[in-house]
Structure 1
Amino acid sequence: MGITCLFIRPSIAFSDEPAQNSIKDFSYEVVFPENQHDKNVGYYDLLMKPGEKQTIQLKMHNVSDKPLKVAIDLNSAKTNGNGVIEYGPTDLKKDVSLNYDLAQIVTGPQEVTLKPNSTETIDFVITLPEAAFEGYLAGGIQLKPIVKEEYSQEKSIIINKFAFLIGVLIHESSTEKIKPSLKLNDVSLKLKNGSYSLFVDLSNTKGVFVEKMDAVINIRKNKSSKNLIEFRKQDMRMAPHSNIAMPVSLQNQKITAGEYTADIRITTADGGNWTWVKNFTFTKIEAEKVNQYMNQNAQSNFSGWWLLSFSTVLLITIVLFFLLKKKRLRIK
């Protein structure tokens, strides 16, 4: 371990104080309209009518002595693979059940430049479709101050990326009686972040949130009762009319081509319960790719452990050698 440390090169890091200053220089204030359903929250919760058009406002404060540019993004709420709702810009796909995208219903400026020591009120216009909808239209407004700091030591420009998210919920009637409805779309093998995983693709087809969602997924050979892979994940959430692709790790198991079965169960704290049995196939090409990746990963891990073990043994040998040599000199 000591010898290994000799090969570690020191790195130069900069304090994030400029980024902290940029946060202190910028703040926002949600201006609640009369139809705000709950004024004790920090986001818009609006009760509107079909076809209604409304302007909502947001105040932005710049307390610095320099102009501040703020990028603005409007987004529909989506759910990532970890069961976390994303209100900001994301590459996650839209669910087919999403008929009305909040990013298209709400319009506003894409960028605002705040004058030094100023407050500016920004307008966003909501135009609802004529056809009524059930549940929520959910999304968010992202505010991202654009701050650039130049460090002559490295001759580079570092752009500090910090963003604020303000949730937007729009509904036309009470949502209390609406229950989530989950649909299984597919179980498939995909390469993501450099590793292969099975992805269980689900949709929430209703306009309400799924809260405290637990998943139990077992993978077995077709017509076998023995589970090859057991997956559990708790306390997830899903946005209205959103899709989730849950990654199920293969747990470093080698795969053979053939038929497999996924037993899937989803439960929620309020009594929701969905179960599916989905058959899928690992093709010969897919199995070879997975096993090739597993072998490469195992070899890489083995090489790392071998180097660490060798370095440790060598270090202990050197220490013992000098201790014994010192002891012999004392005896003489």
Structure 2
Amino acid sequence: MRKLLTILLLLTSINVYRADAADNQVPFSVEPILPANQNSDVSGYYDINLKPGAAQVLQAKLFNPTDRPITIEVSANRAATNNNGLIVYDGSEKVSDLGQVATVQEKSITLQAGETKVTDVKIKMPSDFKKGEILGGLYFLQRPEKNDDNQAMLTNNYAYAIAVRLHRENKQAVKPALSLDKVTPELINYRTGIDTKYVNAAPVTLTKMKFHAEVLKKNGTEALYTSDIEDFAIAPDAPFNVPLMFDNKPLEPGEYVYRSSFTKGKEKYEFEKAFTITAEQADKINGEAVELDKSSNWWMYAIGILLLIIAGLVYYVVRLNKKVKE
């Protein structure tokens, strides 16, 4: 019961996404029309217990409080975990969509000034879904307005999301199935680091996890780079990526070890994977990175200068000996 309450609080806290309007006026509002089989403990989003193969219609009420027409684009997206450990519904993360579960009846809705409309979304529980949950969201995005030249104007992007949680109650608890798929050196937002891909293969949401990761040299004992995220949430039945930044330090070729853990009380999932940074990868990523701190490679420059000095001294001694013999 405590775990369910945590999930409900998480969903309630992230069901709205918006950008501040320049005039502080909300361009539109969306309200879920909760069905008769709605979980009575939840009011801010759809939380429905459905049998395998069962279907029904979800409804949402849209309202335009402004003095001009607006157009809203509607989509149904599967919940995903973003790079910061937050569950999002905007379709920005690369996960499978809700196409087999939810069908949006009107993908584009125009509201006149002061108008209210109700839109329908058909949902159907997969016939082979026996236990766990399907987590997604209905996403409502205002289409940018156009000027007299039919060009999109630079305006605030306003959006609203309503979470949709479909579940099948089962006495047997669903166990998480987390795995670490791969670790790769990457250029992340024009900065050096590594990208890691995890998969939660189970239909269960994980919340309030503490995430820790570190990178070490192979056979090393001291962490070179670390990352910590509090309140990490993991969407069900989906992959997710967690980057680890190298603090603007250049990538150095070599063999490394990546270690990570997700912890919540006595619940703990630990991972370890070896990876290699090749000279080619380091050169390419370092060459494209911005604000790169090259001071960490001072020893390489020092060695280079020392070699030049030694070469010069050798050349001088050879020339001097030659002159003495003459």
Q: If the length of structure 1 is used for normalisation, what is the TM-score? A: 0.73
- 1:275 maps to 270
Distance 2:251 2:63 in 1: 57
Cα deviations across residues 206-257 of structure 1 (Å, max 9, x unaligned)? 1111111222222222122232223322221111112221111123444432
- 2:218 maps to 222
Distance 2:290 2:64 in 1: 55
- 1:135 maps to 132
- 1:110 maps to 107
Structure 1 counterpart of 2:244, from 224, 243, 248: 248
1:119 aligns with 2:116: yes
- 2:318 maps to none
Q: Post-superposition, which runs of at least 4 consecutive aligned residues in structure 1 deviate over 6 A?
A: none
Residue-pair matches, total: 274
Task: Give the aligned CA root-mean-square deviation in angstroms.
Answer: 2.9
Consecutive unaligned residues in structure 2, runs of 5 or more: 1-19, 296-326
Residue identity (%): 28
> How big is the shift at 1:79?
0.7
- Structure 1 contact 264–276 (Cα < 8 Å) conserved: yes
> How big is the shift at 1:180?
2.2
Task: Classify 1:120/1:183 alpha carbon distance in 2 versus 1 (closer, same or farther; 3 Å).
Answer: same
* Structure 2 residue identity aligned to 1:279: A
- 1:205 maps to 201
Task: Classify 1:156/1:61 alpha carbon distance in 2 versus 1 (closer, same or farther; 3 Å).
Answer: closer
- Structure 1 contact 72–141 (Cα < 8 Å) conserved: yes
- Structure 1 contact 260–280 (Cα < 8 Å) conserved: yes
Give 3-state SS (helix, strand or coil) of 1:157's partner. Answer: coil
> How big is the shift at 1:71?
1.2
1:62 aligns with 2:64: yes
1:286 aligns with 2:281: yes
- Structure 1 contact 102–138 (Cα < 8 Å) conserved: no
Give 3-state SS (helix, strand or coil) of 1:203's partner. Answer: strand
- 2:46 maps to 44
Cα deviations across residues 232-291 of structure 1 (Å, max 9, x unaligned)? 22221111112221111123444432221122222124x321122211111121233345
Consecutive unaligned residues in structure 1, runs of 5 or more: 1-14, 301-332
Distance 2:171 2:189 in 1: 38
Distance 1:291 1:124 in 2: 47
Distance 2:251 2:117 in 1: 59
> How big is the shift at 1:82?
0.8
Alignment of 1:1-332 (within 5 A): 16-18=21-23, 20-21=24-25, 23=26, 26-90=28-92, 92-94=93-95, 101-108=97-104, 109-146=106-143, 148=145, 157-174=153-170, 177-269=173-265, 271-292=266-287, 297-298=292-293
Distance 2:64 2:48 in 1: 27
Task: Classify 1:161/1:137 alpha carbon distance in 2 versus 1 (closer, same or farther; 3 Å).
Answer: same
> How big is the shift at 1:299?
7.2
> How big is the shift at 1:160?
2.9
Q: If the length of structure 2 is used for normalisation, what is the TM-score? A: 0.75
